[in-house]
Amino acid sequence: METKKGSLSWDNLKYELNPWLQEAIRSMGYPTMTPVQASTIPLLSGNKDVVVEAVTGSGKTLAFAMPVLQKVSERLYSVNEEEGTPEKVKRGHMLAIILSPTRELASQIQSVFNSVLEYLPEDKEPIKTQLLVGSLSGVREDIDNFLNNRPQILIATPGRMLDFLSSNYVKTTSVEIAILDEADKLLDFSFEKDITNILKRLPKQRRTGLFSATISSAGDTIFRTGMNNPVRVAVKSKSAHNSAPSSLTISYLPINPEHKLTTLIKLLDDYKFKKCIVYFPTCTGVKYFYNMFERLVSKGGDDDHVKFVSLHGQLSTKARLRAIQSFSDGDASLKKFVLMTTDVAARGIDIPDVDLVIQIDPPTDPDVFLHRCGRTGRANKVGQAIVMLNIDSREEEYAGFMEVKGIMMKEMSLPPISTKYHEDFQKRFRQYVLQDRSRHELAIKSYVGFVRYYTKHIASSIFRYQNLPYIPLAKMYGLLRLPKMPESKFIPNEEMPEDAWLGEVIDMDKFAYADPLKEKARLENLEAEKLKKIQDAKKRKEFKIKNEAWSSKTETKESKQERREKMKRKREAIEKQINEESSGDEQAQEDWKEVVKTNKKKKVSAVQGSFDDL
Ligand SMILES: Nc1ncnc2c1ncn2[C@@H]1O[C@H](COP(=O)(O)OP(=O)(O)OP(=O)(O)O)[C@@H](O)[C@H]1O
């Protein structure tokens, strides 16, 4: 849908919102609508289902929040001449549900709703929201709060929403509108089942809105959401064929993987930025590198000019929300703030002042690349996104691959870093790892996790795990020795270091945990293992001796058997010879048998005699 720039004044919105909402918009400090708001608000408020694709940071949240609030306001405040004052929403019922793939995003959406609701006049029946996300509270508690507070708008992640809706106390028959934010993610294999189950429980005559910067990826699944003749809204960047906002510059940095961390440190040092998000592939990776950066990069004092915050899916919900809050609240005029995170913070997160995004590795899903970059350059503010790509590999083709998807990238050159700088850092890093055995364990877990992650790249012809530079990457992860893993077979023999050690050989028995309790347990285990080894060796020896005795017995048995066979063969040969010589002479045969028998008897008595002599 086309929208002329001049018509973006809120006064030109082609739908008459409830007066309190009009007042709220004027007070919120947004002088104009964004194009996606101008297109979507009238459609969704005016009873159309919508599928909205608009660039990151283009104001999609308000584009659905306004229609949702409009619908709820109509239901609560519209006085009909025939029916009079509207009926109260019954206990256990809700009017709107909004679904989001992550807890952080759900919580952020609730904040947007609540910031508009601050302008709701006190004399009106309150409009309330409730957040339903895993592990913040129990489902029982969620239901109790819902029944007591009677919120009309529920904002949830799919799993918790499904559990919540399974309660007999919760009724969905009054739901008028359902929104799927980051709809392509919600409709992919990870959530699709839950989403289908949730949508099945909602009334058919409800309105539905799907929103994302990359909705086209959802393909035909969008038609399984029960939408009624939906209108498609697509808002592109100002520059044609660009799927990213024009305020966002995206660069790629070809780099030797061994130098990724030193280069990251240098970029964080040299660049002028307020807030930067650094994406790592896995939760363990974030944990590992965050701890290391806190020790080796951050100076730790109040005068420190860079502050690191970590956020990943292995943290509790409370810790995750706290991390986002502390990064958002950070006073960027005093320090540079760096959020080290995973894709948990790739979509939808809207944090003011983020002007730099760095990706240590590209994401496995090319769509997520745009979402990660889009955490900066939002709402027409300038932002820069940098992605590191391994040199001398097909990874450099990523730029061309993304161009086809409408994402333009330019190559950037490495910041000047001396060999000494790299080497000094590598030494300090090794020292850091050697100080605590658990650090090395985490290093191995992160490295193996990264290798697994790499095998999951959708663009597998560019990200070929068969050609991954395993050794430089292991050094980047601070490993002392390469771990045993199936992928090791891809390391060329001539590159494989002796016994897989990366640098000096370490006596692993003496490599201690910094935690005294853990170390005590390790030493006890080590002692027990040694003892077991000695006992096992003893047992093996005894077994061998027994085995030998048994085998010599079987040997004599075998030789007896062999002798018998030999005798039998001899006898048969003589018999055969006699038969041939005296063919037809029965008497001669009988005589021979007699001779053989007498011979045998003689032998036996001779043997017996010899025994008796003893
Ligand atoms: N009309 C407006 N004028 C100026 N700024 C706005 C307007 N509407 C929203 N914003 C601001 O734009 C920023 C981005 O909005 P929002 O988070 O809704 O983007 P989005 O399109 O959902 O992005 P993403 O695709 O990354 O989720 C927010 O900080 C919001 O406050």
Share of the chain above pLDDT 90, in %: 74
pLDDT(403) > 80: yes
Distance CA 148, CA 141 (A): 10
Cβ-Cβ contacts under 8 Å for 47 (sequence gap 6 or more): 207
Specify the pLDDT at position 335: 85
Smallest CA separation from ligand 1 atom 14, residue = 57
pLDDT at 299 over 50: yes
Q: Is the pLDDT of residue 86 over 60?
A: yes
- Ligand 1 atom index nearest CA of 32: 1
Query: Could you identify the atom of ligand 1 that is nearest to the CA of residue 182?
Result: 27
Shortest-distance Cα residue to atom 20 of ligand 1: 57
Ligand 1 pocket mutation pick from 61, 112, 155, 357 by most atoms within 8 angstroms of CB: 61
The answer to whether 175 and 97 have CB atoms below 8 angstroms apart is: yes
For residue 231, the CA-to-ligand 1 centroid distance in Å is: 21
pLDDT for res 550: 64
Distance, in Å, from the CA atom of 212 to the CA atom of 181, rounded to the nearest integer, reads: 6
The 10s digit of each residue's pLDDT in 161-203 is 999 999 999 999 999 999 999 999 999 988 999 999 999 999 9
Q: Quick one: pLDDT at residue 224?
A: 78
Tell how far the Cα of 63 is from the centroid of ligand 1, in angstroms: 9
Atom index in ligand 1 nearest the CA of residue 374 equals 26
Q: What is the pLDDT of residue 302?
A: 60
- pLDDT band at residue 545 using 50, 70 and 90 as cut-offs: confident
Higher pLDDT, 97 or 297: 97
CA of 66 relative to ligand 1 center, distance in Å = 13
Closest atom of ligand 1 relative to the 54 alpha carbon: 21
Per the prediction, the chain carries an average pLDDT of: 88
User: Tokens 């086809």 appear where?
Assistant: 404
pLDDT tens profile 115-152: 999 999 999 999 999 999 987 789 999 999 999 999 99
Query: Ligand 1 centre and the CA of 246: distance in Å?
Result: 15
The amino acid occupying position 28 is: M
Three-state SS at 308: strand
pLDDT at 384: 97
Strand intervals (E) in 30-183? 50-54, 96-99, 129-132, 153-156, 177-181
Could you report the predicted ipTM of this complex, rounded to two decimals? 0.99
Q: Give the residue-averaged pLDDT of 441-466.
A: 96
Question: If you take atom 27 of ligand 1, which residue's CA is the nearest one?
Answer: 348
Q: What is the pLDDT averaged over residues 20-38?
A: 94
* Range in 155-169, 197-211, 484-498, 597-611 with the lowest mean pLDDT: 597-611
> Average of pLDDT values for 80-85?
70
- Matching residue, tokens 């919900």: 317
What is the Å distance from ligand 1's center to 133 Cα? 23
290 alpha carbon – ligand 1 mean position (Å): 29
> Residue 371 Cα, ligand 1 centroid: separation in angstroms?
14
In the reported structure, the alpha carbon of residue 404 is separated from the centroid of ligand 1 by a whole-number distance in angstroms of 26
Tell the residue nearest (CA) to atom 29 of ligand 1.
Answer: 350
Ligand 1 centroid to 59 CA: how many Å?
3
| Residue owning the nearest CA to atom 23 of ligand 1 | 57
List b or e across 394-420, with b for residues whose CB sees 16 or more CB atoms inside 10 angstroms.
Answer: ebeebbebbeeeebbbeebeeeeeeee
| pLDDT over 60 (residue 602) | no
What is the model's pLDDT at position 187? 94
Under 8 Å between Cβ of 103 and 157: yes
Query: What does the alpha-carbon distance between residue 71 and residue 205 come to, in Å, rounded to a whole number?
Result: 14
**pLDDT in the model for residue 575:** 64
Q: Which tokens is 590 given?
A: 């009988």
User: Would you state the pLDDT for residue 238?
Assistant: 66
Residues linked to residue 99 through DSSP beta bridges, in sequence order: 156, 180
Residue 93 in this model has a pLDDT that exceeds 90: yes
Cβ < 6 Å from ligand 1: which residues?
30, 33-34, 37, 54, 56-62, 213, 348, 350, 374, 378-379
The alpha carbon of 243 and the centre of ligand 1 are apart by a number of angstroms equal to 16
| Residue 591 predicted with pLDDT over 80 | no
User: Which residue, by CA, sits nearest to atom 3 of ligand 1?
Assistant: 30
Long-range contacts: 557-560, Cβ < 8 Å, 24+? none
The one-letter amino acid at 547 = N
pLDDT at 309: 96
Contact 362, 260 (CB under 8 A): no
The pLDDT-based confidence of 7 (bands split at 50, 70, 90) is: confident
| pLDDT score of 235 | 86
Summarised one tens digit per residue, pLDDT across range 350-393 is 999 999 999 999 999 999 999 999 999 999 999 999 999 999 89
Q: From 32, 34, 50, give the residue whose CB has the most ligand 1 atoms within 8 Å, as the site to mutate.
A: 34
Taking residues 218-229, what's their average pLDDT? Answer: 80
Over residues 98-107, the pLDDT tens digits come to: 999 999 999 9
Inform me whether the pLDDT recorded for 311 exceeds 60: yes
pLDDT at 569 over 90: no
**Ligand 1 atom at minimum distance from 34 CA:** 1
Contact 349, 357 (CB under 8 A): no
pLDDT for res 274? 94
More confidently predicted of 76 and 556: 76
What pLDDT does 588 receive? 35
Average pLDDT value for residue range 242-251 = 91
**pLDDT at residue 223, rounded to an integer:** 77
Q: What digits encode the pLDDT tens for the residues 553-567?
A: 666 666 778 878 888
Please name the residue that has the structure tokens 């320090």.
Answer: 335
The stretch 66-85 carries a mean pLDDT of: 86
Ligand 1 atom having least distance to the Cα of 108? 17
pLDDT at 456: 95
Q: How far is the CA of 124 from the centre of ligand 1 (A)?
A: 28
Residue 566: the pLDDT is 83
- Angle, in degrees to the nearest 10, between helices 419-434 and 260-270: 110
Mutate to test the pocket of ligand 1, among 11, 22, 30, 185 (most ligand atoms within 8 A of CB): 30
Ligand 1 geometric centre to CA of 609 (Å): 113
Using CA positions, which residue lies closest to atom 7 of ligand 1? 59
In whole angstroms, what is the distance from residue 46 CA to residue 347 CA?
A: 28
